[in-house]
Amino acid sequence: MPKPDAMWLPPSLETLAEDALLLRFGDRIDAAVNDRVHAAARRLASLPGVECVPAYASLLLRFEPARWRRGDAAPHEHLREAVATALRESDDTEAATREVTVPVWYGAEAGPDLDDVAAHARLTREEVVARHVAASYRVAMLGFAPGFPYLLGLDPALAMPRRTDPRLSVPAGSVAIGGSQTGIYPQALPGGWHLIGRTPWRLFDLRAAEPSLLRPGDRVRFRAIDGTEYARLAARADA
């Protein structure tokens, strides 16, 4: 009998700490698995005192133990029952997601690795940019640094092994390719992904009511701009 695909198996539930559980849906980067993660996050977000933190193939549930303590049983046990019930009884209706279009200045000083990506893909610079802006991406998760979005949906032709010589500092706003993913550096950070452009938008701002510009589950598209528009939008962002 063939082994069932892990994508369709029920998630496993692990205890991580006295105030944390982990739902595992798989063990690989896969858009369909990530869809299940975000669907579960939507269903479980209404549980009292529970914070949902999605990753590629897992969902962290941080909770307030006092709100889940009943009698002598551990808070984890009551939350486990509530999670199982919520996942079993909720429907699969897709929730409305935000769509964000991010302006990007490709190449030149903003994208010093664009030529390398083009050579690896056997495409012209213009073809790389066209393929990158044509795709629709999904914020699979935020990680590595506050506000850093890992985006699924990259054209397979643009997949690129990570650099063998990581940079000590990547400029904030850099749009990059690493493996089969694309991402945006929210601050100046070390990094080994290939830089193909830069956005003037702030991806993370502690002064804002919602510090992270993008949320897990958002849909993202890129819009190509030139250096002049980049400077104008950057000045507006800094105002």
Label residue 4 by pLDDT band (50, 70, 90): very low
Which residues partner with 165 through β-bridges?
none
Q: Where in the chain is the domain with CATH 2.40.100.10?
A: 99-238
Give the CATH number of domain 6-89: 3.30.1360.40
What are 46-95's pLDDT values in tens digits?
Answer: 899 999 999 999 999 999 988 888 766 677 888 888 888 888 876 555 55
Predicted model pTM = 0.84
Lowest average pLDDT, out of 7-11, 100-104, 208-212, goes to: 7-11
Q: Say which CATH superfamily domain 99-238 falls into.
A: Cyclophilin-like (2.40.100.10)
Predicted confidence (pLDDT) per residue in 112-169, tens digit: 999 999 999 999 999 999 999 999 999 999 998 999 999 999 999 999 999 999 999 9
Locate CATH 3.30.1360.40 in the chain.
6-89
CB burial of 150-174 (b: ≥16 within 10 Å; e: otherwise) equals bbbbbbeebbbeebeeebeebbbbb
pLDDT at 7 over 50: no
> What phi and psi, each to the nearest 5 degrees, are found at residue 78?
-70, -40
pLDDT tops 60 at residue 8: no
**Can you name the residues that pair with 70 across neighbouring β-strands?**
73
